[in-house]
Amino acid sequence: MKQTVVLYPSAGVGHVVPMAELAKVFLGHGFDVTMVIFPLPFKSSALGASQVEQIAAANPSISFHVLPAIAAPDFAGSGKHPFLLMLQMLRQYNDELERFLRSIVPRQRLHSLVIDMFCVDAVEVAAKLGVPAYTFVPSGASPLAVFAQLPALLAGRQTGLKELGDTPLEFLGVPPVPASHLIAEMLVHPEEEMCKTMASIFERGMDTRGVLVNTFESLESRALQALRDPRCVPGKVLPPIYCVGPLVGNGARDGESTERHECLAWLDARPERSVVFLSFGSMGTFSEEQLKEIATGLDKSGQRFLWVVRMPANIDDPKRLLEKECELDLDALLPEGFLERTKDRGLVVKSWAPQVDVLNHPATGAFVTHCGWNSMVEGIMAGVPMLCWPLYAEQKMNKIFMTEDMGIGVEIEGYMTGFIKAEEVEAKIRLVMESDEGTELMTRVVARKKEAEAALEVGGSSYAAFVRFLSDVENLGEQLARSAMDV
């Protein structure tokens, strides 16, 4: 009888999608996989149930188990940040998670529980049942190295890190990181609930039996060396780090319709490496003013483009996560005459495009990205140079790693002001698409693509890391069994 691995992702497409790709790795090694989903009462397309349903439909080989809904906190009326309320819900779901895991444990089929980095409260359930728990980090080793070292940096501070402004902070394993580039939740006063909660998550996430990371060894060797160094977190031995990535879909998923998105047919008619693709993730939105500025920059650049536009919103307002997107009126949002003027060389798509398929299309020559980790590794696997426009979460840190350590992107200047001018959009697009510097960038990204492909092959570093993980789980199981017999 096959053993079952239970995966427990956090909310959000950026967490569920890479977990689904991890599930495929387990399937390839002969395991059954069940992904446990906790329902959230959000209308946002980035966090709502419809997205999970689409992912489940596209991956019929993975079992999806939705926990019974519990009474949800008042996300709309509460004065608390929605993220804190989501963590509260996760703790409340522990009883339902335990009930489900107990249905597997008696039959000796449960191999391990792999939790998202934000699902750390589930470790208590795993310990209660004697199930080995592992953390999955959908981002990379470089941000993980910073997260691991942040609690010690905050300890004893009387003021928040925000007061340091752009002061560079030194972390083992990564380039200097300006304080302003850390995730916003860690910049507030150390005694505020959000900061204390995030610090606790970072610490407890490293208290499992091991950490699976969506990266490959050669991409982040410096950060990985730091995570294995006793100096990383003084007084604490970090668990084994397993680089099992890059975890990227191949575009067309199991069970999906064969019907192609209209934008792919449009790309078919464009020359090789001639189109700039602009997409900012499931939660990436801009003001109407910024959208017009992007459009002006694209217009003046003279380059072909494929642009995914979402409804304008204030990206700093967490309440927007609760809202359902309205229907877009592109003519009203974009400069007058823009769509007509650029119709022969540009295509604007509402809300969503099949990003993996677009990036791997021969016509795509550059990628303007918000620097979300999933998008970054998808860009690497497609061999497409990136223009970095970070928006939220750890994306500003990712921009530093992409431009300074990995050599796979160039910065679009002005993102820290909250507004980027058309002239900068035009200049950086021209740089990547027309200059010698852009050609060199392309060469570096293609080299990274080859490294990534080699890591995933049988015998490659990521393949070997996953095999080592499976061996470690098996050895741990034998140790636990012997301990139980001794008792």
pLDDT band at 456 (very low <50, low <70, confident <90, very high): very high
Question: In this structure, are residues 224 and 455 in contact, taking their beta carbons and an 8 Å threshold?
Answer: no
Over residues 75-100, the pLDDT tens digits come to 888 888 888 999 999 999 999 999 99
Query: Which run of H or E residues covers position 98?
Result: helix 94-102
> Which pLDDT value is given to residue 442?
98
Question: In this structure, are residues 406 and 451 in contact, taking their beta carbons and an 8 Å threshold?
Answer: no
> Which pLDDT value is given to residue 78?
84
Q: Is pLDDT above 80 for 40?
A: no
User: What's the one-letter identity of residue 198?
Assistant: M
Over residues 299-342, the pLDDT tens digits come to 999 999 999 999 887 555 655 555 566 678 999 999 999 999 99
In angstroms, the CA 134 to CA 205 distance is 9
pLDDT band at 74 (very low <50, low <70, confident <90, very high): confident
> Which pLDDT value is given to residue 463?
98
pTM, to two decimals: 0.94
Distance of alpha carbon 452 from its chain centroid, rounded?
A: 17
- Please, which residues have CB within 8 angstroms of residue 241's CB and are 6 or more apart in sequence? 141, 144, 210, 211, 213, 224, 227, 228
> Which pLDDT value is given to residue 105?
79
> Which pLDDT value is given to residue 148?
97
Q: Is pLDDT above 60 for 384?
A: yes
pLDDT band at 253 (very low <50, low <70, confident <90, very high): very low
pLDDT band at 53 (very low <50, low <70, confident <90, very high): confident
Characterize 100-139 residue by residue with b for buried, 16 or more Cβ atoms within 10 angstroms of its Cβ, and e for exposed.
Answer: bbeebeeeeebbbbbbbbbbbbbbebbeebebbbbbbbbb
CB-based contacts of 185-193 (< 8 A; 24+ apart in sequence): 185/83, 186/150, 186/154, 186/161, 187/160, 187/161, 187/162, 188/160, 188/162, 189/159, 189/160, 190/154, 190/155, 190/157, 190/160, 192/160, 193/84
In angstroms, the CA 389 to CA 291 distance is 13
Q: Is pLDDT above 90 for 167?
A: yes
> Which pLDDT value is given to residue 487?
46
In angstroms, the CA 115 to CA 133 distance is 7
* Structure-block tokens of residue 225: 């060396």
> Which pLDDT value is given to residue 102?
94
In angstroms, the CA 58 to CA 52 distance is 10
> Which pLDDT value is given to residue 42?
65
Question: In this structure, are residues 432 and 438 in contact, taking their beta carbons and an 8 Å threshold?
Answer: yes
The residue length of the chain stands at 487
In angstroms, the CA 425 to CA 431 distance is 10
In this predicted model, which residue has the larger pLDDT, 478 or 308? 308
In the three-class reduction of DSSP (H, G, I as helix; E, B as strand; rest coil), residue 120 is classed as coil
* Residue in the structure block whose two tokens are 């319709």: 257
> Which pLDDT value is given to residue 256?
45
Over residues 343-376, the pLDDT tens digits come to 999 999 999 999 999 999 999 999 999 999 999 9
| C-alpha closest to that of 219 among 148, 149, 147, 142 | 142
Q: Is pLDDT above 90 for 440?
A: yes
In angstroms, the CA 12 to CA 374 distance is 12
> Which pLDDT value is given to residue 72?
84
What are phi and psi for residue 140, nearest 5 degrees?
-105, -175
> Which pLDDT value is given to residue 54?
83
Distance of alpha carbon 61 from its chain centroid, rounded?
A: 23
In angstroms, the CA 83 to CA 395 distance is 17
In angstroms, the CA 132 to CA 100 distance is 16
In angstroms, the CA 268 to CA 244 distance is 33
| Residue 410 β-bridge partners | 387
Over residues 412-432, the pLDDT tens digits come to 999 999 999 999 999 999 999
